[in-house]
Amino acid sequence: MTTPRRSLVLAGGGLKVAFQAGVLQVLLDEAELRFDHVDGASGGVFNLAMYCQGMSGRRIADNWRTLSPLKGVSPNWRELPKGPYARSLFTMDGYRRHVFPGWGLDWEKIRATDREATFNLYDFTSNELEPVPASRMDEDRLCAGVALPMWFPSVVLDGKTYIDPVYLTDGNVEEAIRRGCDELWIVWTVSRRGRWRDGFVAHYFQIIEAAANGQLQHWLRRIEASNAAEREGGRGEFGRVIDVRLLSAEVPLNYLINVGRDRFAQAVELGVHHARRWCTAQGIPWRPVPLEDRPGTDRPARLRFSERMVGRVAFGAHATEEPSPGQGGAATADLVLHLTVEVADMDRFLVDPDHEAALRGEIVCQELGGRLPVERGTFQLFVQRPDPAHLQMCYRLFFSDRAGHRLTLSGHKDVDEDSRRGVWKDTSVLHTRILRGHVDADAESGAEQVAAGAVHIRPADFLKQLTTFRVEAATLPGRITTLGRFGQFFAGKLWDVYAQDVLPWSPL
């Protein structure tokens, strides 16, 4: 049996390709997959250049994890006074001077690679897409591949003007097919939410999304039709069955505007998380990178804060989580939660997609036995449900009633742009269920419900909560930075949900 020829398509997506770097860590290092051809377009050429140089997936991912976004920012001061006639808003000088050297790009090594690769540029002079092999690549051509009109200047090479190919393709599936590949592994980060937003900046990127997603769907339909003909005994357009494996995700990172370093690390870890789940679903074995090898694990900064929530629950298997004083005549009871959230490692907390911390404290409910200590608890801050604009804060508290019966309090706050409740109610109301036994999240659907209801943070308690923040770090600047990073993360996630019309995905 002939071994399939496999192509990896590193599609563009601006800065969202930090997610793609996390995927590469899994595919190249943890799953140890090998590819006969790799194609890069738009922002994907950054990762392709590092791949051609021979960097491991982990090294590529770490380059994005540690990237300082302001290093690449270089306004085109000479052109800005021209207003709408300016050549561009920014230049690539910041990337040339700081980012590329920081990544360790070596063009002699890239050109000498034995890895088959194609970098896509759009030749505006000749009006055609130009796939460039690694042997012809240099820094100018790399910059040409991401020269997004208006934002970055076009690049003139050999008398021809080149720009980012995104309006024609954001992932050159055609080139992979032309090179005889039977398997197309596509890593796609361009948003596919299909939600139209007004404003010139939003329109600009939605035009790109329309072009990129439209081309992708066009090629997927052609491949599907060709495969159908082949399987029916005829001859399809491409003369062989082509297996497409698409890994696509909504990445909560703006295409171009980002000033928060943690956002890159979060996108990388999201890529790792998605790729591992995707590989498992595809039946692809993988082994994780050992935790002790990851950056940021020395002398972790810690943070804790306390909160108080009050409300009522109704007893019975059919009680609901709606915050009401009585539910269909069911017995009700006051419920008070005194909790302390403890983040043991701020670096890991911020980048882990689950954003999980420990909970301790007590549950006060006279009907269950008065003041009941939390035996073990977890808190997850802003977990995607199901995409980055629909988030949840999840609480899980294991405790026992006065008779020694094990119970679990499972609660969630829904932070949703479509809720119409507003940011205060979304972030202050905890919808609560009390379950029989100590029940993990994956077993909750089949658990016996004891009670349900809601508790909430009162404004006065919220103001008091703000005074309870405590940070442990090696130095005073470290403590200030840690608190600032947590605040930036919290504000950024709220922006992701409630300020999408201002700018899709927070720049913080």
DSSP code string of 441-465? GGGGGGSPEEEEEEEE--HHHHHHH
> What would the pLDDT profile of 363-389 be if each residue is shown by its tens digit?
999 999 999 999 999 999 999 877 788
**Contact partners, residue 495, CB within 8 Å, separation at least 6:** 502, 503, 505, 506, 508
What confidence score (pLDDT) does residue 22 get?
Answer: 97
CB 89 within 8 A of CB 75: yes
Query: What pLDDT is stored for residue 290 in this prediction?
Result: 72
- Residue 210, SS3 per DSSP: helix
pLDDT of 294 reads: 47
- Using an 8 Å Cβ cutoff, are 492 and 506 in contact? yes
Provide the greatest CA pair distance for the chain: 84
Domains of the chain in sequence order: 6-282 (3.40.1090.10), 302-467 (no CATH)
Residue found under tokens 């770490």? 62
For the record, the structure tokens of 504 come out as: 């899709």
Structure tokens at 466: 């703000």
Q: What is the pLDDT of residues 307-360, one digit of tens each?
A: 999 999 999 888 887 645 545 557 899 999 999 999 999 999 999 999 999 999
Per-residue pLDDT at 503: 87
Residues of the chain with pLDDT under 70: 1, 291-298, 322-329
Indicate the pTM of the whole model: 0.91
Residue 49 is which amino acid?
A: A
Residues 6 or more apart whose Cβ sits within 8 Å of residue 471: 301, 302, 303, 479, 482, 483
